[in-house]
Amino acid sequence: MIYLDYSATTPISLEVLDTMNRTYKEYIGNPNSINALGIKSNELLHSAIKQIADLFNILENEITFTSSSTESNNLAIIGTALKYYKKGKHIIVSRLEHPSIYSICDYLKTIGFEIDYVNNDKEGLIDFEHLRTLIRKDTILVSICAVNSETGVRQPLKMIRQIIKKVNAFTIFHSDMTQAIGKTTISLHDVDLASISSHKIYGPKGIAMLYKASDIKLTPLIYGSGSSNELKPGTPALPLIVGFSKALRLANEDLEKKEKYISLLNDRICTRLKKYYNIKINKTRYSIPHILNISVMDVMPETLMHALDKEGVYVSTNTACSSGEISKAILAIYGDQKRAKHTIRISLSSMTTTGEVTQFLEIFDKCYASLKVLVK
Amino acid sequence: MKRVVIIKYGELSTKSDNINFFLKTLKNNVDKKLEGFNYEIKYDHGRMLIFTEDVLQVKNKLQEVFGIHEICDGYLYEERSLESIKTNVLNIIKDLEFNTFKITVKRSDKNYMGTSITIATDIGAYVLKNIPNIKVDVTSPDINVIVEIRLNEVLIYAKGIPGLGGYPVSTLGKGLLMLSGGIDSPVAGYLAIKRGVKIEAVYFDSPPHTSPMALKKVEDLARVLAKYNGGEVKIHVVCFTKIQEEIIKNIPKNYLITMMRRMMYRISALICGSINAHAIINGESIGQVASQTLKSMQVINEAVKMPVLRPLCTYDKLEIIELSKKIGTYDISIRPYEDCCTIFVPEHPVINPDVNLAHEYETLVDFDSLVYEAIKGRTILHIKDHKENNFSDLL
């Protein structure tokens, strides 16, 4: 098996799994209980939270756990909308967001919010001038992902923040960092709100977090009791949180070294695929190496994907969350309908070996050759 | 160019005979606080210079150290020509927000051309020419740019942030803080530390009447205080259950609190003796509860022969709350776990206790041996300012 779909989800790290196993077995108390077992669980919970806070240099109470980045995005955007609708009902997002962001915006439109989409340039970078003109007095939120999930284009969040705050100091800046964390260095202090997921960094599935700077208020979407965090009432998912915390720590070790290695793998694949006239490589100078997007213009991407599947090679078309649709991000960057319809995403990890890359290229050649013949 | 953080001393600059002891202690405290950073300290009687690249973090850390009046961001240049000083001053202040300014020149190298005043005027004129809409104000400027021309270098610094003030901790002896878990006692401890007193704490545990969470709460409070107390607070955990139960069984209800407090004082005084502390410190505030009327304080205080410091005695509750929020103990204090003072509170405690009656009641129970037993059985917790991770194998 050659797994090249790490940006869809990652296999869990065995170390993390071991931690979770032990937590499930040894920390049975509810962290909200005040008996001795509860206290023991509570201490572990707080150590896990503190480890995350220290990693990002933020405060412990700036972390809210959710079930997924999609939930984090909901809490960030709808929570802001409900809290600040009296100040304004205008929200700006980019054209390079995860589909969940667009679904949330579509919902908000039905209850009277106005959504604007900021353009990007040919390299995938946010058009700063356009952003500046879009921000108004009643703009309560701007949401721009740190790394686009299809092309890997990374946005300069710090600069974007400066632009936003200069035009309207009250506009909140949210970033979906799901594809950035554990891949490239990120500062949470560049944003007010950030969505971060565990299953993209070799952690357990079913857990994610929202970073919320302490000066920002959100209206909760869920109501209940028993937690010190009003945004996420209920019993904390201790084993998942502990696993997530460990996965974050491991993912942030040797980040630059890993990035360099993956860059080499990425270059190798690109060099090889460039020889095909009908394959376009959707990579700009702002793409991180972990995500490699190509458009195979003369073959349907699903067909190619299935052919690769049969050979034990796993890649995706578009992103896992919107398969079958035209790629919004590729369309936004290249303005080419066909190119956007024919995308395949190859995502790499520091666990990917050079041997796997060689094998992948061979299998790819074989599958592509056999399908190309049919088209002609 | 090198980055420097400049510490200006607070009140301690008035100490003449033992200023070296104060400064050495301050330096030790700063060293402890900056553990793990890359830095170098030089100091004299005027100020302390910390050479470091991690300016922001170092400044943050220094805001937890007593004995510091002001923390300034400084720049040290080897280039000493007047032209370079002018451009450097401009570079440093051009991004600061201010309307009025002043340039103060100090020359430790008296051979440097001109007088301090002419140099200052020169630099001021240059700044005025290059930044629009600002004025000179020598009496109360928004920023005072200080240019120190030294033998081989020039030190320039402008705006500072206030330090915590007070005296370096450990310069003025040791005290024992009666730490309960409420809002007041940690604030009282903080204020004692502020005046240079190193504190240890005593906590009266009363299981099963009090929950282990109450002790944990006290540990977390001590952890906050440890930040200011040189990195650690020792807590003497005294099991008070037996004494409390004997009092409840044998002594009239309205004297319950009076007798409990007298026993706590006695135990505290004995601990003070064993750790070489010179005072008991607590969070009492006049009139706040029945045991804190002046008469009550007198009768309770009579149980011991050593000073009892009550830094909060004249504070209003709201003032105490405000301070506790500032130092970061409030959120911990309001966690809902009762300590041994708040359980078994009689409906009508005496507010005018009689000392003779107190003496009489003390003969009803063999308190001497109970007190001895309690002190002998105490455990001592060493609470560090950073929580040690007990879960490193898991996380």
Residue of A18, A20, A34 to mutate, testing the B interface (most B Cβ within 10 Å of its Cβ): A34
Query: The domain at B174-384 falls in which architecture?
Result: 3-Layer(aba) Sandwich (3.40)
Q: Where are the extended beta strands (E) located within A119-189?
A: 139-143, 172-176
> Which residues lie below 8 Å from residue A57, measured CB to CB, with a gap of 6+?
A187, A188, A189
CB contact under 8 A, A249 and B395: yes
User: What average pLDDT score do residues A340-363 get?
Assistant: 95
Residue A208, pLDDT above cutoff 90: yes
Question: Using an 8 Å Cβ cutoff, are A283 and A293 in contact?
Answer: yes
What digits encode the pLDDT tens for the residues B167-217?
A: 999 999 999 999 999 999 999 999 999 999 999 999 999 988 888 888 989
Catalytic residues of A: 321
Residue A241, pLDDT above cutoff 60: yes
Residue of A32, A42, A47, A59 to mutate, testing the B interface (most B Cβ within 10 Å of its Cβ): A47
Task: Using alpha carbons only, give the angle B20, B25, B28 rounded to the nearest 5 degrees.
Answer: 125
What's the pLDDT score for residue B96?
Answer: 83
Phi-psi region of A258 (alpha: psi -120 to 50; beta: other; left: phi over 0): alpha
CB contact under 8 A, B391 and A22: no
* Residue with the two structure tokens 């300034």: B72
What's the pLDDT score for residue B160?
Answer: 84
**Regarding beta strands B135-136 and B100-107, do their DSSP bridges make them parallel or antiparallel, or are they unpaired?**
parallel
pLDDT band, residue B15 (cuts 50/70/90): low
What's the pLDDT score for residue B46?
Answer: 83
The alpha carbons of chain A give a radius of gyration, in whole angstroms, of 21
Query: Which DSSP helix (H) or strand (E) runs through B6?
Result: strand B2-9
CB contact under 8 A, A44 and B394: yes
- B208, two tokens: 């099963």
Question: Using an 8 Å Cβ cutoff, are A116 and A90 in contact?
Answer: yes
pLDDT band, residue B113 (cuts 50/70/90): confident
**Candidate from B213, B387, B391 with C-beta closest to A34:** B213
Domain B2-165 has CATH 2.170.130.10: no
CB contact under 8 A, B395 and A34: no
Q: What phi and psi, each to the nearest 5 degrees, are found at residue B40? A: -140, 135
CB contact under 8 A, A19 and B394: yes
Phi-psi region of B135 (alpha: psi -120 to 50; beta: other; left: phi over 0): beta
Question: Using an 8 Å Cβ cutoff, are B217 and B205 in contact?
Answer: no
Nearest-CA distance from B376 to chain A in Å? 26
pLDDT band, residue B112 (cuts 50/70/90): confident
Instruction: Give A-chain residues touching B395 at CB under 8 angstroms.
Output: 19, 47-48, 51, 242, 245-246, 249
CB contact under 8 A, A48 and B395: yes
Domains recognised in chain A with CATH numbers: 2-9+254-375 (3.90.1150.10), 14-251 (3.40.640.10)
What is the residue-averaged pLDDT of chain A?
94
ipTM: 0.75
CA dist list (Å): B120 to B1, B2, B104, B114, B138: 21, 22, 6, 10, 11
* Residue with the two structure tokens 């950035």: A180
What digits encode the pLDDT tens for the residues B244-259?
A: 999 999 999 889 999 9
Q: How many CB atoms lie within 10 A of CB B157?
A: 21
* Residue with the two structure tokens 């190509």: A294
Q: How many CB atoms lie within 10 A of CB B80?
A: 15
User: What average pLDDT score do residues A140-156 get?
Assistant: 96
* Residue A77 C-alpha from the chain's centroid: 15
Q: How many CB atoms lie within 10 A of CB A131?
A: 21
What digits encode the pLDDT tens for the residues A38-75?
A: 989 999 999 999 999 999 999 999 999 999 999 999 99
Task: Using alpha carbons only, give the angle B4, B9, B13 rounded to the nearest 5 degrees.
Answer: 140
Instruction: Give A-chain residues touching B394 at CB under 8 angstroms.
Output: 19, 22-23, 44, 242, 246
| Residue B162: strand pairing partners | B70
What's the pLDDT score for residue B193?
Answer: 97
What residue segments make up the domains of chain B, in order of their start?
Answer: 2-165, 174-384
What digits encode the pLDDT tens for the residues B155-166?
A: 999 878 999 999
**Regarding beta strands B2-9 and B47-52, do their DSSP bridges make them parallel or antiparallel, or are they unpaired?**
antiparallel
Nearest-CA distance from B58 to chain A in Å? 15
What's the pLDDT score for residue A150?
Answer: 93
SS3 B8: strand
pLDDT band, residue B218 (cuts 50/70/90): very high
Q: Tell me the torsion sign for CA atoms A62, A64, A68, A71.
A: negative
Q: Chain A within 8 Å of B389 (Cβ-Cβ)?
A: yes
Question: Using an 8 Å Cβ cutoff, are B84 and B77 in contact?
Answer: yes
**H helices present in chain B, as ranges:** 19-33, 55-62, 82-93, 116-130, 184-194, 212-228, 241-250, 256-275, 294-301, 317-327, 330-333, 355-362, 367-376
The full length of chain A comes to: 376
What digits encode the pLDDT tens for the residues B346-393?
A: 778 888 899 999 999 999 999 999 999 999 999 999 999 887 777 888
* Residue B288 C-alpha from the chain's centroid: 24
Residue A323, pLDDT above cutoff 80: no
What digits encode the pLDDT tens for the residues B43-83?
A: 988 889 999 988 888 999 999 999 999 999 899 999 999 99
What digits encode the pLDDT tens for the residues B295-338?
A: 999 999 999 999 999 999 999 999 999 999 999 999 899 887 77
Question: Using an 8 Å Cβ cutoff, are A289 and A317 in contact?
Answer: no
Nearest-CA distance from A78 to chain B in Å? 28
What's the pLDDT score for residue A222?
Answer: 94
**Candidate from A34, A36, A242 with C-beta closest to B394:** A242
Q: Chain A within 8 Å of B391 (Cβ-Cβ)?
A: yes
pLDDT band, residue A322 (cuts 50/70/90): low
Instruction: Give B-chain residues touching A51 at CB under 8 angstroms.
Output: 389, 395
Predicted TM-score (pTM) of the model is: 0.76
Q: Where are the extended beta strands (E) located within B39-168?
A: 39-43, 47-52, 68-77, 100-107, 135-136, 143-149, 154-165
What's the pLDDT score for residue B210?
Answer: 85
